[in-house]
Structure 1
Amino acid sequence: MDAHTLRVLEYHRVLQLVQEQATSPLGEERIQNLKPNTNLKEVEEQLAETKEALDLLRLKGELSFRGLKDMEGSLKRAEIGGMLQSSELVALYKMLVSAQQAVRKIREIEPEELPLPILRAALGQVSLQPELRDRMERTIDEEGEILDHASPELSRLRSKIHTLGARVRSTLDQMLKSARYQKMLQDPLVTLRNDRYCLPVKQEYRHEFGGLVHDQSASGATVFMEPNAVVSLNNSLRECHLDEEREVERILYELSAEVAEVVDPLRVNMEVLAHLDVVLAKARFGRKVQGHCAHVHDGRHLQLKQARHPLIPSQEIVPINLEIGEEHQGIIVTGPNTGGKTVTLKTVGLFALMTQSGLPIPANDGSFMPVFQQVFADIGDEQSIEQSLSTFSSHMTNIVTMLKRVDEKSLILLDELGAGTDPIEGAALAISILEEILQRQALFVATTHYSELKMFAHTDPRVVNASVEFNVETLRPTYRLLVGIPGRSNAFAIAARLGLPDGIIERAKSELSQDQHQLEDLIATLTEDRRIAEERRLQAESLQREAAQLQRQLQEKVSTWEQEKAKMRETARREARSLITDAKHEAEEVLVQLREWAKMRPTELKEHQLTEAKKRLNDAVPGWELQGGAVTVVEEDTTIQIGDEVFVQTVQQKGEVVEALSNDEWLVQVGALKMKVGRSGLKRVQRKKQVKQESAYTSYQRSSSRISPEIDLRGKMVEEALAQTDKYLDDALMSGFQQVSIIHGKGTGALRSGITQFLQKHKHVKSFRLGGYREGGTGVTVVELQ
């Protein structure tokens, strides 16, 4: 990538921001040397691992590699048999600990929860070396000091050093307290000189004190003497220190040899962890700037959504939307100075470099970037006094260099194209340069003040106009990029606002050509239309937000209603279940009472007793009906004749009129019983009508069809036959039958066997037998009810 472009786009400043997010010196070093990649596959891989790091940070928190350093020199020295210093071994130990923590962190995350295939594959190369790590942990502390228990010999020597030191200090303390020596001492304290314990003695008492002189003060008034009483102890202490140094050196050599055995895995560890630190630093940077990884491809489509320059504070930057490569090959941006034209250029170029470095860009998700082979930028005034280059010459030198290398895989950024020379010649030269770039199929973004370039963009379908908005009322730019609209010069409006007389402004306007007037009027119209469209867009977005909020509120209410409805249904089910249970208990009591009456007085069962019992049974049954089920509809009729089917209200049963006792009393056959019923207690039965019910509850109304003293089950399956038999026995008992016949036929005997087993367990069956000669023989079972 062109070095000049990297510099003018301030790519190094972006890398500095990323460096701040690294957790190790080695990671910072790698980021400093980061360069944009031009290989599509490699760029895709870099962005993919950055996305994984963003997911990891967002869902599972930080992963740090603090203390990771470049250990290549140490590893090489260990490899050739050299001794590593304790500080180097501490750095290697910290690297192994970081590797262990990283591997543990990733393993704790279930692949189903967060796949992270790239990060898992990278950490799969790491060798944890637990034995070496444990040995280092037992040998060296975090400050690089060799621990006492690193070896038995070292432990012994340090214990001896401690004992000898205590004896020396004790002897010297006694001398400090002695009246004989106190007058000879400059200060009552013990000092170390050349690793030997000494006392500060006055110069005039050096011969009288007795001992070895190791040092003296700058003034010469004090000499530091080792008393004869501790010379022997200090000698022994010194020997122990030398032995300690030799033992420490032996331990370091031993550890270095162990490191040498695993140099290659440690190198891999260092590379993997450094790479992961870089990837996580990219992700932290992306999180800080609220960025996303752009979608890269091998085409020409460049689209930025709500793009924000990463080096401008977020509270100051105005996001831009920009697209080139499909409908248009280039954009020409016009507008006032300090309005944001150059920022637009730098944003586009910098985003290309960042994307190809695997960095998130501060733009909304859904931004697209091609992978460029070259990004060229001619931005700013780079005139050189030493080289005698003017502004125009400097620009032309850069452009000439670009045109030698530009192709369809290039992005060209041109600031103030054609400036610095005669406006007419500059504009013509600028148009010619842009046409050459268009022929080379490169994408470009250019800024200018020339009206001729606005017209060029208006007439050439490969190029589109854009402008940075300027508020004439406040004389300040808004920094908004308006694509599709060329920028107005605003020179006359600004001059008028600043107080320039109208006459001067009008004379200046008269100097403009007709074409220039038309262009300014066209721009003004387009700007006003854009303003109106923008206002309407904002209104539409506001209405859309309100509609979305109302929809959410409605959905919440519907959800609440559904929950309340479900609760009401559940309450109704529970109440129905309770009523059904009570009804069953009541029915059982009625049936027991009927059976008792039938046993005690089979021939004296009173009609009013039966009527009362059946009424209790009817009242015990809830009158709810199943949705969509059939109900019996009855209608009053003044004409009732013998043979009519009627509904007897007192027992809630159907019957047949068998005799007219008087005009207001009838004899009605209900099952096996005959009852006297008044006219007011009868209703003539009509045909059943299908009536839809709104209720969602089950009907427990009993059938009132005529009960026969026998049931024919021939040809039915056993399960079906048993169900019908159970219902039939209940109905027969309620109708007052004491004995019924079940016709099952002879056949294979399976149905008869099933009926027999069923009757043995039925609580209403007193006894049963096969039919006699005139009753159907073995094809019939006669049942006595109780």
Structure 2
Amino acid sequence: MTIGSKKTFNDLQFHKIKEIVARFASSRLGADAIGQFVPTNDREQLETEIAQVDEIIALLMSRRSISLTGIHDLRPLLKQATEQTSLDPKDFVIVAETLSAVRRIRKQIDNFEEFPLLRRIANRLSFPGRLEKLITDAIDERGAIRPDASPLLKQLTNKRRTLEASIERRLHALINRSPELISESVITRRSGRLVVPIKSGAVGAMEFVVHDRSATGQTLYAEPASVVGDNNAIAEIESSIRLERLRILRQLTAAFKAKEGLLIRNQIYLAHIDSLFARANYAIAHRCSFPRIGSLSLTLIEGRHPLLPQDKVVPISLSFGKGKQMVVITGPNTGGKTVTLKTIGLLLLMVQTGIPIPASANSAFPIVDKIYTDIGDEQSIEQNLSTFSGHVKNIIEIIKEADSSSLLLLDELGAGTDPQEGAALGLAIMEDLLEKGAFVIISTHLTPLKYFAIKHPAIKPAAMEFDHTTLSPTFRVIEGTAGRSNAFIIAGRLGLSARLIERAKGSLSQGEIHAEDILAELERNKRAINEYKDRIAHQLKEAEALKEEYAALLTAFEERKEEALSLRIRKLDSFLRDSQRQVEETLAKLSHSPSQARPQLAKTYKEIADLRAKLYAETVAFNKHQTGNTSSFPLQKVTVGQLVHINSISRDGRIIELLSGKKVGVLVDSIRFYTELADIFPPKKTHKTDKKPALI
């Protein structure tokens, strides 16, 4: 079911966006498929196509692709094959190229295991290998029938070649034997027969059959009587060859027609694959993505009109729905109201066609059943309709069809007639559409419609921003406020004298002047609020960045502090261990020393031992504090393969060897390391892998 009329598609220029996307297709088949796209309200179909396009975007972004060259539209040839007995040999080159492309594409896509949706489509491609072989065995790449396309053709071709060689030998002998008769020493053909060019005066010298003469009449193309029989035989063989070639072409044509259903299905899948790649390439080239679909509201974030220069167009953000089913956009002429309507309408058509849109992926779109538009000049000389009459006639049709699953885009509602009467009609139409529950976006200059939008709970007012400093529109949509038409400002900018502008202002009623002042104040307040929100958002972003930076610095500090403490403890322990060993060696040496020296050394040894005991206690307390594990004491028993923490280097590792003297071998970051059992603690981290690293 299509969701838009021909008028809607024309108003929104849907055909132009299809033309742009079609340029990314690799084949005429894919381009034609895109040209036939129509939007749909089938959610399942849309979700499937969106997932397929997203998958191919991911494939292309991974710098991989497939070659779609060699794809041809075979449907005209299939139609031609049903209307005549045989196709031309060159037609079969096109068929063979397409069959080869099918085989290649299937093979390429079959290698992409991480892209199941694309593989699922490719697996539906059928490959008629026998048909391809029949064609390639009979037709060469230039579109000529091969001499050995069939046993009979091969036999006839060889027989013709033998006869021609025999004739040529005899003709060369004639040329060499009687050069005075020969005009030119070459062998040529006339009427399919091998002849030699002789001088016109040589006719009586030998028996010849003349088949042609030069423009001057000085040269005759003659067939000596001695080769007439063989030339006749060649003519008969040529006739047989023509019949055999025709039979081969008819046989290939019949085989081609027999696979019509399979080939048509392949054409559908190939066209779809090509269209998917075209849409994905378009998305990458134009920075497009898909919004969330199926939402009960429409949220457009940073949307750009796809037909405008992307480096100049101002992105549009607008949302409505969930209690706000209508948007009324106001603002100055040339401020962007109509472009906003067209942007939203065209982007919705694209989404419901499975084409990515130039907007943020955080956008959300509903799936509507119908899109109706009343945009542009509806004047019709043929139907004797004025601009206003044309709009009214169109809106009457829209009101008849509108319901809660419709999106209506009404540009300049109530314009083209007396402002008071136009406003009254506009208000009545707005109330009726609100009762029908339709999604509606309206643009207007009429003040009563602005006020109705401000006070009605189901309508969101919006304005096209106007920069009073530069006296020009910014083309940004400001939600929640009604805009002024700024007619006096624009007229002054264009050169209308201040005297006339002041006279015009004097013609306004006090109520109208007061209303414009209120709108101006609302616009200033809204602009100030938006600027404040932007500052708050910027400050919040900076605060988040500072928070992340502080957290990273804190983590790095804790890691350095732990490493520093661990290093200091290890150095101190090493110093005390060395000192204790030196004292022990000294005591041994002084065992025969005077007795008064030994008490002093014993006292020193005890002090060192006490320091080591204190250091050990502090190390245990330090480890307990770092891990929060009350069982962070050295392990008394370990097994090979066990995960442990090596306290001296503050790293986890795996036991690989048990040595005598309470020593163990451990593997840390693929490096073999030896330490004492007292240095081994329970692991600090949870290790998920069971694989043992390689030893070095």
TM-score (norm 2): 0.75
8 Å CA contact retained: 2:188, 2:195 = yes
Aligned to 2:57: 54
Query: Once the two structures are superposed, what CA deviation does each residue of 1:261-291 show, in whole Å capped at 9, x if it has no partner?
Result: 6554444323222222222222222222221
Query: Once the two structures are superposed, what CA deviation does each residue of 1:620-678 show, in whole Å capped at 9, x if it has no partner?
Result: 989667877169xxxxxxxxxxxxxxxxxxxxxxxxxxxxxxxxxxxxxxxxxxxxxxx
Are the structure 2 counterparts of residues 416 and 213 from structure 1 closer, same or farther at C-alpha, using a change threshold of 3 Å? farther
Query: Once the two structures are superposed, what CA deviation does each residue of 1:318-340 show, in whole Å capped at 9, x if it has no partner?
Result: 11011122231111222233222
Residues of 2 paired with 1:464 and 1:241: CA distance? 84
Query: Is residue 397 of structure 2 the alignment partner of residue 401 of structure 1?
Result: yes
Query: Once the two structures are superposed, what CA deviation does each residue of 1:343-364 show, in whole Å capped at 9, x if it has no partner?
Result: 1111111122112111111111
Query: Is residue 356 of structure 2 the alignment partner of residue 353 of structure 1?
Result: no
Query: Is residue 102 of structure 2 the alignment partner of residue 99 of structure 1?
Result: yes
Query: Aligned ranges for residues 160-171 of structure 1 at < 5 Å?
Result: none
**Residue 382 (structure 1) aligned to one of 378, 381, 388:** 378
Letter of the 2:286 counterpart: V
**Superposed displacement of residue 548, structure 1:** 5.9
Aligned to 1:756: none
**Residue 322 (structure 1) aligned to one of 318, 323, 347:** 318
Aligned residues: 627
Query: Aligned ranges for residues 301-700 of structure 1 at < 5 Å?
Result: 301-540=297-536, 542-543=538-539, 629=617
**Residue 285 (structure 1) aligned to one of 282, 295, 300:** 282
Letter of the 2:31 counterpart: E
SS of the residue corresponding to residue 617 of structure 2 reads coil
Are the structure 2 counterparts of residues 172 and 475 from structure 1 closer, same or farther at C-alpha, using a change threshold of 3 Å? farther
Higher helix proportion (structure 1 or 2):
2
Residues of 2 paired with 1:152 and 1:620: CA distance? 106
304-313 or 502-511, which moves further after superposition?
Answer: 502-511
Aligned to 2:687: none
Query: Once the two structures are superposed, what CA deviation does each residue of 1:505-544 show, in whole Å capped at 9, x if it has no partner?
Result: 2232122122221221122223323433444455455555
Residues of 2 paired with 1:622 and 1:191: CA distance? 120
8 Å CA contact retained: 1:586, 1:620 = no
**Superposed displacement of residue 606, structure 1:** 7.9
**Superposed displacement of residue 491, structure 1:** 1.8
Query: Once the two structures are superposed, what CA deviation does each residue of 1:446-472 show, in whole Å capped at 9, x if it has no partner?
Result: 122222221221122222222223345
Residues of 2 paired with 1:61 and 1:279: CA distance? 15
Q: Which runs of 5+ in 1 are unaligned?
A: 598-603, 632-689, 697-718, 721-760, 764-786
6-15 or 275-284, which moves further after superposition?
Answer: 275-284
Are the structure 2 counterparts of residues 214 and 17 from structure 1 closer, same or farther at C-alpha, using a change threshold of 3 Å? farther
Aligned to 1:275: 272
Residues of 2 paired with 1:436 and 1:127: CA distance? 55
8 Å CA contact retained: 1:19, 1:281 = yes
Are the structure 2 counterparts of residues 220 and 327 from structure 1 closer, same or farther at C-alpha, using a change threshold of 3 Å? farther
Residues of 2 paired with 1:425 and 1:488: CA distance? 20
8 Å CA contact retained: 2:576, 2:612 = no
Residues of 2 paired with 1:580 and 1:104: CA distance? 71
Letter of the 1:294 counterpart: P
Residues of 2 paired with 1:92 and 1:693: CA distance? 77
Residues of 2 paired with 1:17 and 1:50: CA distance? 17
**Superposed displacement of residue 59, structure 1:** 2.5
Residues of 2 paired with 1:205 and 1:22: CA distance? 66
Aligned to 2:42: 39
Residues of 2 paired with 1:232 and 1:582: CA distance? 119
8 Å CA contact retained: 2:409, 2:441 = yes
Query: Once the two structures are superposed, what CA deviation does each residue of 1:22-77 show, in whole Å capped at 9, x if it has no partner?
Result: 22222222222211112222222232222223223222533343333333465578
Residues of 2 paired with 1:581 and 1:244: CA distance? 105
Are the structure 2 counterparts of residues 622 and 425 from structure 1 closer, same or farther at C-alpha, using a change threshold of 3 Å? same
TM-score (norm 1): 0.67
8 Å CA contact retained: 1:382, 1:391 = yes
Are the structure 2 counterparts of residues 347 and 583 from structure 1 closer, same or farther at C-alpha, using a change threshold of 3 Å? same
SS of the residue corresponding to residue 377 of structure 1 reads strand
Are the structure 2 counterparts of residues 342 and 568 from structure 1 closer, same or farther at C-alpha, using a change threshold of 3 Å? same
Residues of 2 paired with 1:154 and 1:4: CA distance? 61
**RMSD (Å) for aligned C-alpha atoms:** 4.6
8 Å CA contact retained: 1:468, 1:477 = yes
Residues of 2 paired with 1:178 and 1:578: CA distance? 115
252-261 or 486-495, which moves further after superposition?
Answer: 252-261
SS of the residue corresponding to residue 457 of structure 2 reads coil
* Larger Rg, first or second structure (1 or 2): 1
**Residue 6 (structure 2) aligned to one of 3, 6, 18:** 3
Residues of 1 paired with 2:180 and 2:330: CA distance? 93
SS of the residue corresponding to residue 62 of structure 2 reads helix
